[in-house]
Chains A and B, each alone.
Chain A
Amino acid sequence: MDKKEVYIGIDVGSVSVNLAIIDGRGNLLKKRYIRTNGAPINAVRKALSENRAELAGEYDVAGAATTGSGRHLIGYLIGADEIKNEITAHAVGAMHYFDDVSTVIEIGGQDSKIIIIENKIVVDFAMNTICAAGTGSFLDQQAQRLGIDISEFGSYALESVMPTKIAGRCGVFAESDMIHKQQIGYPKHDIIAGLCFALVNNYLNNVGRGKKIDDKIVFQGGVAANRGIVKAFGETLSRQIFVAEHYDVMGAIGAALISLKSREKGRYSKSKFKGPECFDGDITSDAFECAGCSNRCEIISVKKEGTRLFNIGGRCGKYDYKG
């Protein structure tokens, strides 16, 4: 039996690790969304080992790429052929599914971004700088405080006919406003819907400030699951918001596509991907303080079965990925 040529993309985010496996034509074969829970290595190990049978059997891995804030660590561990920033990865993913996309709204666990595309080229982008209000972690926290499951957050919001006004300038203000409204008796769904509008305004004022937001608008990232936020974006912008089918793994799909394209361009021919086997055995990491200067940087040393694979961290680059 002929093996199927596949490309793997892994988006190592702060809140989730996403895996996408695509074929040589860019069709999605497998996807997986796993909570990071503070341990990216374990999450990636889990995501890969679930597909171990295919990876060892019918799939022939022709390329692999990582993206997200943990892209360097995981990239070196699995032998990625491309290590790409998440802005480029998300743009590539969005353009793959929506030919005519011009605005990508991406809201993930810790950061949010806006990407402006013209003629299939990224022409402008911005990321949240000072405020993480409206990102997944903040919503998680608020859902917990209200005692509802985050997956029900959206449907609660949709029930509201009169969303209450909540200050969206900053997460702390939003939270104290919510508590105030709850104490004077507002129904839960109006508060939740109000929060959705507040966070959308926060996003548009901070991340989207000065950006040309035009049709077609594609919304992706974990928060796109929240129908309350989608509705608030639509009403605030008075435009249709398209949520990508695989909104939760678009970064990973983008990364996989990047490895596919870069192989087509001849930047590499044989993948360095080490397979799920690279996670066999005990992978540990410990930190030590470099005494080279008074920065006293913390250096992380990644070890497998007690032998050091590589070091990472530090400001000057002295230890980066050296054995």
Chain B
Amino acid sequence: MNITAARMGNLHVILTALFGKIGINYIAPPPVTARTYEIGFKLSPEQVCLPFKICIGSFVEAIEKGADTIVMAGGNGPCRFGLYGMLQEKILNDAGYRFKMMVLDQDTVLKSLRELAAVAGLGLLQILPAFRFAWKILKLSEANEKLAHYYRAHCSDKAAVDRIESGIESLLLKTSTHRQADKLSRDLKNYYRTELKTDVDAREIIKIGILGEIYMMLDPEANMNINRRLGYLNVWVDKTVYLSAWLLKLTSLDYFSKNSYVNQKKTAGNYITSDIGGKGVQTIASAINYAKERFDGLIHLTPFSCMPELVATTILPKVCADKGIECLYLTYDGHTSEAALVTRLEAFVDMLRMRR
């Protein structure tokens, strides 16, 4: 079995660790490029959102690399995303691609995991340690990203930050034991601290919270490297959602955390009372929380035709006016012109600096 899953931010790093430990051959889809878009746009329905299209393109590229099984999250809850796996299977079959689609949802997750374990000749309980290891790698990868966000804003040698971040990323891909992971975890901060000087004037640094649809937030290729571009402008970026938080939410394991869905619903309660799917409620709640934490501004990312975020876009201006925080709205639909994005980001950051 050659297994693959859609490209989404650092997901491939975690899956490399997970399937490596279980002993299943994992084929990482190549980074999302113009070719991925081209395939995705050709095969997908026109009105569907950008993440769907990117996934299709990414699946095709993985199949070309030899993948024969695709794992995709699904189930009721988020938005039409819950049905994407089945639809994508049909589309790709019609286009002549042969593979097995495994949609992981609330009902099938145990069955699918048992199946995966059986491929490696193991029982369900025997693959649990692999999840623990993958979780460790995931947390490391996110810690790396957060450190990069911090240093990119505070340090004038932006190229060095990029270099260190991707260096650690490739180290993570090669990490296969707990001992290696623990060592990396201890050294992580030092990689940055020893090489970089935080020489940017603290008054120059702007704090921006990024919120909106999860795929756009997690995948740097899809959002045109917005985190990096903001870092180059001395912006300290925080994202509302990281993969680990999303997985916890998906499995309802975050019930007692302060960011649990129940708590977010309470926070957003004055503005939105019904569950609109996707990240709609979370978007409103995080805008309120960022304002409370005195962030300078917000950037909201929406893939074109995303219903939950469209609803959030109509509520956010009221939230921002009430809480006294500014928001820049960006809609993505596969266009590749960076000039327009850069101009908006620069103007927004200039504006936030002037307002201080």
Determine whether A183 belongs to the interface, using a CB cutoff of 8 Å to chain B.
Answer: no
Determine whether A291 belongs to the interface, using a CB cutoff of 8 Å to chain B.
Answer: no
A125-B355 contact given A293-B31, A296-B34, CB 8 Å threshold: no
Report yes or no: A293 in contact with B33, Cβ–Cβ below 8 A. yes
Report yes or no: A85 in contact with B31, Cβ–Cβ below 8 A. no
Report yes or no: B224 in contact with A315, Cβ–Cβ below 8 A. yes
Most buried by B among A86, A121, A294, A296: A294
Report yes or no: A122 in contact with B354, Cβ–Cβ below 8 A. yes
Determine whether A295 belongs to the interface, using a CB cutoff of 8 Å to chain B.
Answer: yes
Hey, which chain A residues are within 8 Å of B348, CB to CB?
Answer: 125
Report yes or no: B34 in contact with A88, Cβ–Cβ below 8 A. no
Hey, which chain B residues are within 8 Å of A1, CB to CB?
Answer: none
A229 and B36 alpha carbons, distance in the complex (Å): 44
Hey, which chain B residues are within 8 Å of A86, CB to CB?
Answer: 343, 347
A122-B34 contact given A315-B224, A315-B336, CB 8 Å threshold: no
Hey, which chain A residues are within 8 Å of B326, CB to CB?
Answer: 123-124
Hey, which chain B residues are within 8 Å of A88, CB to CB?
Answer: 346-347, 350-351
Determine whether B294 belongs to the interface, using a CB cutoff of 8 Å to chain A.
Answer: no
Report yes or no: A87 in contact with B30, Cβ–Cβ below 8 A. no
Determine whether B339 belongs to the interface, using a CB cutoff of 8 Å to chain A.
Answer: yes
Determine whether B317 belongs to the interface, using a CB cutoff of 8 Å to chain A.
Answer: yes
Most buried by A among B34, B36, B225: B34
A124 and B336 alpha carbons, distance in the complex (Å): 25
A69-B33 contact given A88-B350, A315-B336, CB 8 Å threshold: no
Minimum Cβ distance to chain A for residue B350 (Å): 4
- Chain A 132-166 against B: per-residue CB contact (8 Å), 1 yes, 0 no? 00000000000000000000000000000000000
Hey, which chain A residues are within 8 Å of B339, CB to CB?
Answer: 69
Report yes or no: B331 in contact with A125, Cβ–Cβ below 8 A. no
Hey, which chain A residues are within 8 Å of B90, CB to CB?
Answer: none
Q: A121 touches which one: B317, B336, B354 (CB < 8 A)?
A: B354
A123-B351 contact given A293-B33, A294-B30, A294-B33, CB 8 Å threshold: yes
Hey, which chain A residues are within 8 Å of B224, CB to CB?
Answer: 315
Hey, which chain B residues are within 8 Å of A281, CB to CB?
Answer: none
Minimum Cβ distance to chain B for residue A120 (Å): 9
Which residues of B from 305 to 356 have beta carbons under 8 Å from A?
Answer: 317, 326, 331, 336, 338-340, 342-344, 346-348, 350-351, 354-355
Interface secondary structure of B, over-half rule: helix
Report yes or no: B350 in contact with A129, Cβ–Cβ below 8 A. no
A86 and B343 alpha carbons, distance in the complex (Å): 7
Determine whether A57 belongs to the interface, using a CB cutoff of 8 Å to chain B.
Answer: no
Determine whether A210 belongs to the interface, using a CB cutoff of 8 Å to chain B.
Answer: yes
Report yes or no: B343 in contact with A210, Cβ–Cβ below 8 A. no
A100 and B61 alpha carbons, distance in the complex (Å): 57
A65 and B343 alpha carbons, distance in the complex (Å): 16
Q: B350 touches which one: A85, A295, A297 (CB < 8 A)?
A: A85
Minimum Cβ distance to chain A for residue B199 (Å): 15
Minimum Cβ distance to chain A for residue B217 (Å): 19
Report yes or no: A87 in contact with B347, Cβ–Cβ below 8 A. yes
A129-B30 contact given A87-B350, A210-B317, CB 8 Å threshold: no
Determine whether B178 belongs to the interface, using a CB cutoff of 8 Å to chain A.
Answer: no
Determine whether B266 belongs to the interface, using a CB cutoff of 8 Å to chain A.
Answer: no
Q: Which residue of B lies closest to A130 (CB)?
A: B331
Q: Which residue of A lies closest to B61 (CB)?
A: A294
Minimum Cβ distance to chain B for residue A139 (Å): 21
Determine whether B249 belongs to the interface, using a CB cutoff of 8 Å to chain A.
Answer: no
- Chain B 43-77 against A: per-residue CB contact (8 Å), 1 yes, 0 no? 00000000000000000000000000000000000
A85-B336 contact given A210-B317, A295-B33, CB 8 Å threshold: no
A69 and B339 alpha carbons, distance in the complex (Å): 7
Most buried by A among B30, B326, B340, B351: B351
Minimum Cβ distance to chain A for residue B331 (Å): 7
Q: Which residue of B lies closest to A316 (CB)?
A: B225
Report yes or no: A69 in contact with B343, Cβ–Cβ below 8 A. yes
A69 and B338 alpha carbons, distance in the complex (Å): 11
Determine whether A127 belongs to the interface, using a CB cutoff of 8 Å to chain B.
Answer: yes
Hey, which chain A residues are within 8 Å of B36, CB to CB?
Answer: 294
Report yes or no: B346 in contact with A122, Cβ–Cβ below 8 A. no
Hey, which chain A residues are within 8 Å of B340, CB to CB?
Answer: 127
Determine whether B35 belongs to the interface, using a CB cutoff of 8 Å to chain A.
Answer: yes
A129 and B330 alpha carbons, distance in the complex (Å): 10
Minimum Cβ distance to chain A for residue B30 (Å): 7
Q: Which residue of B lies closest to A116 (CB)?
A: B351
A69 and B344 alpha carbons, distance in the complex (Å): 12
A122-B343 contact given A210-B317, A315-B336, CB 8 Å threshold: no
A122 and B354 alpha carbons, distance in the complex (Å): 7
Which residues of B from 284 to 319 have beta carbons under 8 Å from A?
Answer: 317
A221 and B292 alpha carbons, distance in the complex (Å): 39
Report yes or no: B346 in contact with A85, Cβ–Cβ below 8 A. yes
Report yes or no: A87 in contact with B354, Cβ–Cβ below 8 A. no
A125-B351 contact given A85-B346, A315-B224, A315-B336, CB 8 Å threshold: yes
A315-B338 contact given A87-B343, A294-B33, A295-B35, CB 8 Å threshold: yes
Hey, which chain A residues are within 8 Å of B350, CB to CB?
Answer: 84-85, 87-88, 122
Hey, which chain B residues are within 8 Å of A121, CB to CB?
Answer: 354-355
Spell out B's residues near A (CB within 8 Å): 30-31, 33-36, 224-225, 317, 326, 331, 336, 338-340, 342-344, 346-348, 350-351, 354-355
A-B contact pairs, 16 of them (CB 8 A): A85-B347, A86-B343, A87-B350, A122-B347, A123-B355, A125-B351, A127-B340, A210-B317, A293-B30, A294-B34, A294-B35, A294-B36, A296-B35, A315-B224, A315-B338, A316-B225
In the A-B complex, the 9 residue pairs with the smallest Cβ-Cβ separation, listed nearest first, are A87-B347, A85-B346, A295-B33, A294-B35, A294-B33, A88-B350, A122-B351, A295-B34, A85-B347
